[in-house]
Amino acid sequence: MEHVSMVFDRDGKSVPVLDDINLDVSEEEFICLVGPSGCGKSTLLNLMGGFLSPTSGSITIDGEAVHGPDPRRILVFQERGVFPWLTVAGNIGFGLSKLSRAEREERITHYVQLVRLQGFEQTYPSDLSGGMKQRLQVARALAVNPDILYLDEPFGALDSVTRLIMRGELLRIWQAERRTIIFVTHDIDEAVQLADRVVVLSSRPAKIENILTIDIPHPRNISSRRYLELRDDLLSKIGLAYTV
């Protein structure tokens, strides 16, 4: 992203949301975006995914300008990301119509196993737990073989225990598949546990205030001294002090 700015028109008034965003993301990197509510994190994802066009600046992937949505780039939302009228297998197989039946079944089986939904292939989303639905969302996104996954607070609606489990599941899937992931979160611990780098956005109109490199390997011990140092450093970068 080079000098990307975004201004919306609301009732005839200009509302600046993003201001001069410059960011390079490497292949297979896991980036977390954090910042105040309403600062433009989701707008940034929609720009990267081609669902919006910036007011100014440019966005390129592998040297190719982003001008619209592309199946190589998939956005996963917090909810409403599965089709309730399709089974687990049907959801994962959605978008694979160009494959032969054998290839389609092979890919469905692979991603059912990857997200640990064996035995639920013919189950509908209404009969799945919240965590299982999120794993299904990720499986459906990965099945179309994208280069990049954009995740917009995918665990925000889950309880704290399920959310912690899902972080570990996402890391396991990321390490197995090695896709580029850009992940929006409000949870500082989540960002430090998951990311290679954490991008800190300011209040609206958002600028990049800081980029913090998380220099500890996975799996991360969330009680280790270095983890706590990085978490506290990130809290200070967003203007908070960690106190009990």
- Mean pLDDT over 217-223 rounds to 89
Average pLDDT, the chain: 90
CB-side exposure of 12: number of CA atoms within 13 Å?
0
- Classify residue 14: in a domain, yes or no: yes
pLDDT over 80 (residue 80): no
- Of 130, 145, 160, the position where a domain reaches its end is 145
- Structural domain including 231 reads 2-72+147-237
Residue 12 neighbours by CB under 8 Å, 6+ apart: none
pLDDT tens digits, one per residue of 166-208: 888 889 889 988 999 999 998 999 999 999 999 999 999 999 9
Q: Are 237 and 210 in contact (CB under 8 A)?
A: yes
- Lowest mean per-residue pLDDT among 1-10, 58-67, 166-175, 187-196: 166-175
Are residue 229 and residue 155 in the same domain, yes or no? Answer: yes
DSSP β-ladder status, 148-152 and 73-76: parallel
- Classify residue 229: in a domain, yes or no: yes
pLDDT tens digits, one per residue of 138-159: 888 889 889 999 999 888 777 8
C-alpha distances in angstroms, 155 versus 105, 107, 190? 28, 25, 10
DSSP β-ladder status, 30-34 and 197-201: parallel
- Of 99, 128, 145, the position where a domain reaches its end is 145
DSSP β-ladder status, 30-34 and 180-184: parallel
pLDDT tens digits, one per residue of 86-106: 999 999 999 898 899 999 999
CB-side exposure of 213: number of CA atoms within 13 Å?
2
Supply the pTM of this predicted model.
0.89
Share of the chain above pLDDT 70, in %: 97
